[in-house]
Amino acid sequence: MTKKPLPIILLPLLLLLGGCDSLIVKIYGFKTEYDPITPEQRTETLARFGLEGEPWHELDTAFIGHVIDTFYAQVQGKDSTEQHQLADAVNNHLQMLQAMYFDRAGRLVSYHLNCYAEGFPNMNWNMNDAFCTFPPTSVAPPDTLVSLPALLPHIRDAQGRPLTFDPGRGNDYTVVVFWPGFCGRQSKRLIRTVRDNLVLAPDSLRVEALFVNDDWFSIQMDSIVEAKRRQHEPQP
């Protein structure tokens, strides 16, 4: 008997990746026609998004395949409830706007993403005063699908070099923010929310923040997910 393929649930933000140009997308300030940021535009773009003086970081599209491969590796032998929990975690980690707080061991302990940010015409990242403390109260459920050591090699610096996890650096928290340029003011609002939250960290804590542009990740999402789905689909 042929096994049915395991589910991967993907909910692209307001169907933006499908070319949706509806009124609601425009009200949120998303651009339906957008060219990814070139190296020559990086400094100006960082300043425009409130990141002046921050180093350039970009998410490698290989992260998409890593998330899906990890899902299939972990889901084998799980019951239906656990399968759907893992599928939800995949859906979360493939969203475009995210703020992830990792502890010293590289575990995700506070998680925030667009699917959980209610509000109109702007996403409300500070629901229930989540960001009024450091680290903020997690809105999305933290999971173990993506750890900091697994994520960092998929983040590239301005020279295209992957980052590495170095426990010797002694960070108490590492904060990773995914922001796409085509999400306009919604990216700016997430960045500002996180930067304001960083100020609340006690002086006794060592905190590092990485603001990671994920334009290419978002643009190539659909094609990579479909290719991975075919790769993992059981053969008849």
Give me the mean pLDDT over the 58-69 stretch: 95
pLDDT tens figures, 150-204: 999 999 999 999 999 988 788 999 999 999 999 999 999 999 999 999 999 999 9
Neighbour order of strands in the sheet with 155-156: 108-113, 98-103, 173-179, 207-213, 58-59, 155-156
User: Regarding predicted confidence, which is higher, 177 or 235?
Assistant: 177
Residues 6+ apart with CB under 8 A from 73: none
Q: What is the pLDDT of residues 179-189, one digit of tens each?
A: 999 999 999 99
Residue 235 pLDDT > 90? no
By the 8 A CB rule, do 164 and 153 touch? yes
Q: How confident is the model at residue 28 (pLDDT cuts 50, 70, 90)?
A: confident
Q: What is the mean pLDDT of the chain?
A: 88
Q: Is residue 17 pLDDT above 60, yes or no?
A: no
pTM exceeds 0.75, yes or no: yes
Instruction: Specify which of 112-116, 134-138, 224-228 reaches the highest per-range mean pLDDT.
Output: 134-138
β-bridge mates for residue 100, sequence order: 111, 176
pLDDT at 23: 65
